[in-house]
Amino acid sequence: MRAGSPRLLREINDRAAIEALLRNGPLTRSELEGLIGLSKPATAQLLTRLETADTVVRDGLRGGGRGPRAQLWSVNGTIAHVAAVDLTPETVDVAIADISGTVISEHRAPMPARHGVLEAFAEAVDKACGQAGLRTDQLLHVVVGCPGAVNPATGELGYAPHLPGWNGFDVPGRLRERLAAPVSVENDVNLVALEEMVAGRAAGVRDFVVVWPADLVGAAVVVNGVLLRGASGGAGEIDGLVIPDRASADTGTDRAGGTFGELLGNPSICRLAKAHGLASRNGHGAVRKALAAGPAGRGFLADLARRIATGVASVVAVLDPELVLLSGDIAQAGGTTLNDLVAAELRQLVVPRTPVRLALVTGKPVRSGALHSALAVAREQVFGLPAATTAPFRGPVAAGSPR
């Protein structure tokens, strides 16, 4: 196709309009005109063209004031649907959304301890689809976030002894067979990093690390705006990193070294809290009690920060990122107090003065990241939009302009 042809320009401007509607929600013609920079007649023609193709729909009126109410337009969400799944050893949490990003059903179910995991997973997705009036084979894409890493060569899930029943086979391939839909499986912390790039504290940051300092310790590495997955998919799998225990309180650990995951598992954190006179059933409960105790809980938080910073130091020394984000229950429970203690300890261990911040996205960051990832794939397939969800908005192209 010749550059600058009317058909090419229409396609480019149609995509720009669709992207503006997806980013901003329902818009009037004049609002869309201002965003994409087309004339009033050209924008009106564009909307007519997209409505005829069933790509956009009329979505109510925007009123107010003395003037007439203006027609609102939005992307037709029913064009395609996706699923986002957060899989843990205990549960599977599913959300079904239309291509506009609107979540239309949710379903959470327990996972069996070892046997029947594929069946339980498929039943949960099927239930969520049923609530949305869909079949699983009508999903355009499914993204699953889980603790572990898929080997791109084999599809097998590695670094995941905590997910019994999921080892030794092509996980995405088997799920595709079960659901009769395209499936991608991604590391859970990687999805948190994607969500932070889209809607969190890493927006506009090119090189950063997300660390999940809790049970099933993990990290995600983003270099030049791209997730680093590694040759076997295991980039950021720091749970097995052997580090010394630098906590001042004696909890019976081997001071010469233990794995990062062992030192930051719930049992180890609870033992550390007990050594400081704090009793709790889980790690985030211990952190909350320490914060409530004021100065009496400071020693425990400082020891916990030493353990976290010791593992993070290895990542920072190698990558020298712009930013380290702490995410997950432990980080959120500790808030800025624990975050600042980790930052202070890190400065004692490495030369780079990398800022340490709390991740901004809370609630269900893994599922939210999976949803953005699934939508990126769907929107690329349906609308031809760039798959990079953090790509800046691109306006229309004038005739004769270089692209």
H or E element in which residue 262 lies: helix 260-263
Over residues 165-193, mean pLDDT = 96
Give me the pLDDT at residue 403, please. Answer: 31
Q: Say what the alpha-carbon torsion angle 305, 306, 307, 309 is, to the nearest 10 degrees.
A: 80
Over residues 173-181, mean pLDDT = 97
Q: Model confidence over 233-265: pLDDT tens digits?
A: 999 999 999 999 999 998 888 877 789 999 999
Cα separation, 12 vs 300, whole angstroms: 57
Q: How confident is the model at residue 388 (pLDDT cuts 50, 70, 90)?
A: low
Inter-residue contact 198 to 389 (CB < 8 Å)? yes
Checking if the pLDDT of 396 tops 50, the result is no
Give the residue among 11, 12, 20 at the shortest CA–CA distance from 396. Answer: 12
Give me the pLDDT at residue 401, please. Answer: 37
Query: What's the length of the chain?
Result: 403
Checking if the pLDDT of 157 tops 60, the result is yes
Q: How confident is the model at residue 5 (pLDDT cuts 50, 70, 90)?
A: confident
Checking if the pLDDT of 1 tops 60, the result is no
Over residues 352-358, mean pLDDT = 96
Q: How confident is the model at residue 64 (pLDDT cuts 50, 70, 90)?
A: low
Checking if the pLDDT of 398 tops 60, the result is no
Give me the pLDDT at residue 67, please. Answer: 65
Over residues 348-357, mean pLDDT = 96
Q: Model confidence over 214-224: pLDDT tens digits?
A: 778 999 999 99
Checking if the pLDDT of 172 tops 90, the result is yes
Helix axes 298-319, 266-275, angle to 10 degrees: 140
**Mean pLDDT computed over every residue of the chain:** 91
- The sign of the torsion formed by the CA atoms of 19, 22, 23, 28 equals positive
Checking if the pLDDT of 389 tops 70, the result is no
Q: How confident is the model at residue 392 (pLDDT cuts 50, 70, 90)?
A: very low
Give me the pLDDT at residue 254, please. Answer: 80
Give me the pLDDT at residue 162, please. Answer: 86
- Please indicate whether residue 389 or residue 228 has the higher confidence score (pLDDT): 228
- Please indicate whether residue 249 or residue 388 has the higher confidence score (pLDDT): 249
Domains of the chain, start order:
6-75 (1.10.10.10), 79-192+363-383 (3.30.420.40), 203-358 (3.30.420.40)
Residue 392 corresponds to which tokens in the numbers above?
């800046």
Give me the pLDDT at residue 4, please. Answer: 58
Checking if the pLDDT of 395 tops 70, the result is no
Cα separation, 350 vs 316, whole angstroms: 7
Q: Model confidence over 10-22: pLDDT tens digits?
A: 999 999 999 999 9
pTM of the model: 0.89
Q: Model confidence over 291-336: pLDDT tens digits?
A: 999 999 999 999 999 999 999 999 999 999 999 999 999 999 999 9
Cα separation, 281 vs 360, whole angstroms: 26
Give me the pLDDT at residue 140, please. Answer: 98
Give, in order, the Cα–Cα distances in Å from 315 to each of 172, 185, 323, 374: 29, 24, 11, 29
Q: What is the 3-state secondary structure (H, E, C) of 279-293?
A: CCCCHHHHHHHHHHC
Q: How confident is the model at residue 390 (pLDDT cuts 50, 70, 90)?
A: very low
Q: Model confidence over 105-148: pLDDT tens digits?
A: 999 999 998 899 999 999 999 999 999 999 999 999 999 999 99
Checking if the pLDDT of 61 tops 70, the result is yes
Checking if the pLDDT of 393 tops 70, the result is no
Give me the pLDDT at residue 134, please. Answer: 98
